[in-house]
């Protein structure tokens, strides 16, 4: 706490229980709230149009209404064993699906289960100029603290929506070329040519099962990364990041 002087507030047991409920998806959904940990996540939220409910900190932060608490209290409400300096509670941001029809480069992730992978994909999508992300089918909760933490301050820099039905893909992306990334299909478009497509949605499959056959059937083209040394596949986030970079670099 060196360098500034504040009044420390003590969190009641009821307040701690209330905050810890947000560690679970069902309560994040019920209250339409989420937890974000770290200064970068707070800055990301401040610079977006997300409504902040509360900010708890153990060191000085830029948010003027922050509540300063003890390290012991921060450990009690944190989602990690090594708590960050600041924990933010905010309202979820809802994006209009109709706006996605106008986006040029969209990434679709099918049934991603690992929150670290999803956070990394969000970060890469921001870095390499993608316009939006679609989470399809049963994906990990985008508002889990690990996803937000893995996005490293980039979570709200790109619109993200959740879709459950194939008919929604057909409806909202009928003007896009649909590109699969499947090992079971032949490569019939290069990354360079893919980057030249005006409107495109690039689909990546889950870590365990790859892209579903239902989604594969929608594709106009397929991309396959050439690999050496008998390597059969790459980590989902690594594969997606390479493809997004190559498309960005060839624009």
CB atoms within 10 A of CB 83: 20
| Domain's final residue, options 40, 59, 91 | 91
CA-CA distance, 133 to 12, in Å (whole number)? 39
Give the CATH number, domain containing residue 30.
3.30.1330.30
pLDDT at 5 over 70: no
pLDDT at 125 over 90: yes
Q: Which residues contact 94 (CB under 8 A, 6 or more apart)?
A: none
For residue 166, being part of any structural domain is answered with yes
Q: Let me know whether 164 and 208 are in one domain.
A: yes
Q: Let me know whether 68 and 132 are in one domain.
A: no
Return the structure tokens found at 207: 């870590």
Quick one: pLDDT band at residue 1, thresholds 50, 70, 90?
A: very low
Q: Let me know whether 87 and 57 are in one domain.
A: yes
Angle subtended at Cα 132 by Cα 130 and Cα 135, rounded to the nearest 5 degrees: 120
Nearest C-alpha neighbor of 83 from the set 70, 101, 67, 64: 70
Give the SS3 label for residue 55: strand
Q: What is the pTM of this model?
A: 0.91
- Over residues 51-68, the mean pLDDT reads 94
Lowest pLDDT segment from 2-11, 115-124, 135-144: 2-11
- Over residues 204-217, the mean pLDDT reads 89
Quick one: pLDDT band at residue 251, thresholds 50, 70, 90?
A: low
Q: Let me know whether 77 and 105 are in one domain.
A: no
- Domain hosting 120: range is 97-250
Quick one: pLDDT band at residue 45, thresholds 50, 70, 90?
A: very high
| Domain's final residue, options 51, 71, 91 | 91
Q: Let me know whether 196 and 113 are in one domain.
A: yes
Q: What secondary structure letter does DSSP report for 186? A: -
Give the CATH number, domain containing residue 102.
3.40.1280.10
178 near 218, Cβ under 8 Å? yes
Q: Let me know whether 74 and 149 are in one domain.
A: no
Q: Let me know whether 130 and 164 are in one domain.
A: yes
For residue 209, being part of any structural domain is answered with yes
Percent of the chain's residues with pLDDT above 90:
80
Locate tokens 């706490």: which residue?
Answer: 1
- The count of domains in the chain is 2
Quick one: pLDDT band at residue 186, thresholds 50, 70, 90?
A: confident
């Amino acid at each position: 706490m060196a360098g500034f002087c504040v009044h420390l507030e003590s969190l009641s047991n009821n307040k701690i229980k209330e905050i810890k409920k947000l560690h679970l998806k069902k309560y994040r959904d019920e209250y339409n709230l989420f937890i974000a940990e770290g200064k970068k996540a707070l800055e990301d939220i401040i610079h977006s149009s997300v409504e902040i409910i509360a900010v708890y900190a153990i060191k000085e932060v830029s948010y003027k209404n922050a509540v300063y608490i003890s390290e012991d209290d921060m450990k009690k409400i944190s989602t990690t064993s090594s708590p960050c300096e600041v924990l933010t509670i905010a309202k979820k941001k809802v994006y209009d699906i109709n706006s996605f029809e106008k986006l040029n480069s969209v990434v679709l992730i099918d049934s991603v289960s690992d929150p670290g992978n999803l956070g990394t994909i969000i970060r890469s999508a921001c870095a390499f100029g993608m316009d939006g992300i679609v989470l399809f089918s049963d994906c990990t909760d985008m508002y889990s603290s690990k996803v937000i933490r893995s996005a490293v301050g980039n979570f709200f820099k790109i619109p993200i929506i959740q879709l459950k039905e194939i008919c929604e893909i057909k409806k909202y992306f009928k003007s896009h070329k649909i590109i699969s990334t499947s090992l079971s299909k032949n490569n019939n478009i290069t990354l360079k040519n893919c980057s030249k497509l005006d409107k495109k949605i690039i689909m990546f499959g889950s870590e365990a099962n790859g892209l579903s056959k239902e989604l594969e059937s929608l594709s106009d083209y397929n991309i396959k990364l050439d690999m050496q040394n008998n390597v059969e596949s790459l980590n989902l986030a690594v594969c997606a990041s390479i493809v997004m970079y190559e498309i960005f670099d060839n624009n």
